[in-house]
């Protein structure tokens, strides 16, 4: 009886640890995608602004 109880608890622990591992992997992948998406974001800079900055050396406000 005690041995069956120990096996049942061991099985539950294994299933819980597998579930937590898969949750951790999925959340890590989602965080990595969000980080890469924000890292690769480049705002569009108007060509006129680039030309103006190259002529004057700096952008005056």
pLDDT at 11: 92
Q: CA-to-CA distance for 13 and 11, rounded, in angstroms?
A: 5
Tell me: the pLDDT tens digits for 2-60? Answer: 799 999 999 999 999 999 988 988 888 888 777 666 666 666 777 777 777 777 655 44
pLDDT at 36: 65
Q: CA-to-CA distance for 34 and 26, rounded, in angstroms?
A: 12
Q: What angle do CA 32, 26, 8 make, to 5 degrees?
A: 150
Q: Is the pLDDT of residue 61 over 60?
A: no
Domain ranges across the chain: 2-55
pLDDT at 46: 76
The answer to pTM > 0.85 is no
């Amino acid at each position: 009886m005690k041995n069956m109880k120990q096996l049942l608890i061991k099985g539950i622990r294994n299933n819980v640890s597998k579930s937590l591992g898969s949750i951790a992997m999925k959340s890590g992948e989602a965080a990595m995608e969000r980080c890469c998406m924000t890292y690769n974001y480049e705002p569009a800079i108007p060509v006129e602004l680039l030309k103006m900055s190259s002529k004057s050396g700096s952008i005056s406000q």
